[in-house]
Amino acid sequence: MPGIGTLVNTVAILLGGIVGLLLKKGIPERFHNAIFTAAGMSVLIMGLSGVITGSITAAQDGTLTSAYTLTLLFSMILGAAVGEWLNIDGFFERTGERMKRLVSKDDASSVGVGFATASILMCAGAMAILGSIEDGVSHAPQTLYMKAVLDGIGSIMFTALYGWGVLLSAGSVFVYQGVLTLLAVVAAPLLSPAVVTQMSFVGSALLMMLAFNMLGMQKFKVANFIPATFFPLIFSLFIR
């Protein structure tokens, strides 16, 4: 049944978040800093690996060629414009503030940051895009099952760092991957391997931006770039 992979992924994030909340008070501050740095570097490597894999190909003679660079450029520019117009980053912050006022006395900013960081990390990667498309087109949720394990572990770590705001990312994953799965069911003839590769390529670039935020190297409103992942599909429709 299409969507079962996303459902399992959502439950894994919630369970991991609960474990993270139980561990939160038992982790010394110095371990928090070390884990945070390790997490940022891991996300940076994941994003860089996805960008290299998606954009560079090797010919039989060993020469390297790049591809889809213009797709990345225009997707990021147009995606940023749409994201700024929709103010997606502000949505994450406002949601964190509302949830904080309803059920917690924690710092609202930490709730919003945890919500946004975990949502972007778990939605922008190649596995979210590829897994959702595979689940919708061929009813094969194995990739999302693997992602559920990784997200569950990540949810433990990020909840220990940011607090319960990370659990809200389960809703983001459910909606984002659920919509992708439904779109894949409807638009299966349009989702060529090249389009899927380009969408994953752009998603990997967002992961690199997120890593820069986590490491304190630069402050990006990464959530506002999420629409960029859909522009390779839009471009392919215009080309057709």
Residue 139, SS3 per DSSP: coil
**Across residues 16-22, what is the average pLDDT?**
87
Residue for token digits 């110095």? 30
Tens-digit pLDDT profile for residues 26-83: 666 677 677 778 877 887 887 888 888 777 776 666 676 777 888 889 999 999 999 9
Backbone angles phi, psi at 66, to 5 degrees: -105, 150
- Distance between CA atoms of 133 and 131, rounded to whole angstroms? 5
84, 222 Cβ separation under 8 angstroms? no
The C-alpha angle with vertex 46 and arms to 68 and 83, in degrees rounded to 5, equals 60
